[in-house]
Amino acid sequence: MLKRVFKLVLKTFLVIVLALGTYMLAAFTLPNITVNNSFVNKKEGVKIYIVSNGVHTDIVVPVKNKNRDWTKLFPPESFDVKDSIYNYMAFGWGDKGFYLDTPTWGDLTFSTAFKAAFGIGSTAMHVRYLKLPNIIPDKTVALIIDEKSYNELIQLIEKSFEKTNDAVIKIDHPGYNDHDRFYEANGTYSAFKTCNVWTNTCLKTIGVKVSVWSPFSKGLINSLKQN
């Protein structure tokens, strides 16, 4: 009996090690393979930024232009900011538990990490008003895309929000400061669909040269630097 249990435990352990090894191999290999290789930054168009904090990436876009006025969906007064001062908005998609319960890595619990990795928890959108993107050379990439691509990007971002009667659903959470808020999101987060995969997929869909798949921010940023 003990021998049979030992074999089962050993087999399970080997399967886990193999699965983890395969995942890590893909996570460090596929970001180096790019799609939409004919993409080039436009001379004229809409300037957007992809900003990383080293772990998570946001898509940063203008608060207002002729294509979109984000203040209609996210009134500045609900963020305690003055619209005239803030020229950009950052959008990030991710696991709700990570966003709300883990403001720092010291707050991370096994339960939160487990739920996120295996797609058990729900998701949220993190929205921030920014005066200017925080330009850190190895963590920020600027892209200029045409209006058609920007309109497609707008639609992808909006589709990521859960809505009721065309209104986004604000989560009862104060945010990290006075210029950011959280909203209910569509989709399921997992080790295979991370916040960075969301960013990567949005950019891939609108034709930007980007990784085939990149669960980590570094691979995504490195692929974007090739543009």
Backbone phi, psi, residue 177, to 5°: -155, -165
Mean pLDDT of successive 10-residue segments in the chain (227 residues)? 63 70 87 95 94 93 95 90 84 92 61 64 93 82 96 98 95 90 96 95 98 96 93
Q: Quote the pLDDT of residue 23.
A: 79
Q: Quote the pLDDT of residue 84.
A: 72
Q: Are 186 and 155 in contact (CB under 8 A)?
A: no
Q: Are 38 and 177 in contact (CB under 8 A)?
A: no
Q: Quote the pLDDT of residue 218.
A: 94
All structural domains of the chain with their residue ranges: 33-224
**Chain centre to alpha carbon of residue 197:** 7
Q: Quote the pLDDT of residue 133.
A: 76
Q: Quote the pLDDT of residue 106.
A: 57
Q: Quote the pLDDT of residue 54.
A: 87
Q: Bridge partners of 33?
A: none
Q: Provide Rg for the chain, Cα atoms.
A: 19
**Quick one: DSSP state of residue 100?**
H
Which is nearest to 158 in space by CA: 125, 112, 196, 199?
125
The pTM of the full predicted model, rounded to 2 decimals, is 0.90
Name the pairing type of β-strands 140-145 and 123-130: unpaired
CA distance 94 to 190: 9
Which is nearest to 125 in space by CA: 195, 73, 201?
195
> Coil, strand, or helix at residue 43?
coil
Structure tokens at 29: 């290999």
CA distance 211 to 204: 8
Structure tokens at 173: 């959470």
The residues, ordered by sequence, that sit 6+ positions from 171 with a Cβ below 8 Å of its Cβ are 96, 100, 124, 181, 182, 183, 184
